[in-house]
Amino acid sequence: MSVSPDLKACREAARAVRATPFWRQVRDTVRPPGVAIHRSRPPLGLLLYAAARDGRLVWRSADEFALLEPPIARGREWAGSDAGRTWSGRLDRWWDHLVFGVPPVLLLVLSVPTSFVPQVGKLLALLLVGVALLYISGQMTVGLIPRTLRRMRGTPDDSARGLHWTVVLAHLTDPAKADRLLRVALERSQQLTRANIRPDVAEGTHALMCLERAITTAEARKAVSVAPSATGSGPDRPGVYVVLDGGGFQPPDPGAHRPISFIPVLLAGTALVVGVVAQLTADAEAAACAAARDCAAHPATWIDAVTWLINRMFLDDAGLAPATRQARIFGWLMPPLALVVLLCLAVAGWRQASTFKKRQERTDIHLSTTINRRIRVLVLTVLDVERDAVISAVTAVNGRQPEPDTMNGYPVFRLGRLGDQDTEVLVAQSAQGTATPAAMTLTAERLIPVVNPDYVILAGICFGLWSRQWDGGKQEIGDVVVSEYVQNIDHQKVTDRGTIWRGERVQASTPLYLALKAATYGWTGRPVHFGTVLSGNTLVSSAKLRAKLRRQFPEASAGEMELTGVYVTTAGRRSGWIMVKGISDWGTGELTDDTRREASGAAAAFIVRALTFGALPVPSKS
pLDDT tens digits, residue range 57-105?
A: 999 888 999 999 888 767 777 888 888 888 878 888 888 778 878 888 8
What is the torsion angle, in degrees rounded to the nearest 10, for the CA atoms of residue 195, residue 197, residue 198 and residue 199?
-100
pLDDT at 374: 66
pLDDT at 235: 43
pLDDT at 1: 43
Burial of 308 (0-12, 13-18, 19+ CB in 10 A): buried
pLDDT at 154: 43
pLDDT at 165: 85
The residue among 529, 508, 530 whose CA lies nearest residue 578 is: 508
Strands 240-243 and 208-211: antiparallel
From the CB of residue 238, how many other CB atoms can be counted at a distance below 10 Å? 11
End-to-end CA distance of the chain: 53
What's the rounded Cα separation, in Å, for the pair 329 and 337? Answer: 13
CATH number for domain 376-613, candidates 2.40.50.140, 3.40.50.1580, 3.40.190.10, 3.40.50.261: 3.40.50.1580
Mean pLDDT of 598-607: 97
Q: Between 549 and 286, where is the model more confident?
A: 549
Residues 6+ away with beta carbon under 8 Å from 480: 525, 526, 527, 528, 529, 580, 581, 582, 583, 602, 603, 606
Mean pLDDT of 51-60: 90
> Is the pLDDT assigned to residue 259 strictly greater than 90?
no
pLDDT at 288: 81
The residues spanned by each domain of the chain are 7-109+153-252, 263-368, 376-613
pLDDT tens column, 296-320: 788 888 988 888 888 888 888 888 8
Per the document, the length of the chain is 622
Question: For 315, what's the count of Cα atoms within 13 Å in the CB-facing half-sphere?
Answer: 2
> Is the pLDDT assigned to residue 406 strictly greater than 80?
yes
What's the rounded Cα separation, in Å, for the pair 38 and 45? Answer: 16
Strands 230-232 and 240-243: antiparallel
Q: Between 508 and 110, where is the model more confident?
A: 508
Q: Between 71 and 541, where is the model more confident?
A: 541
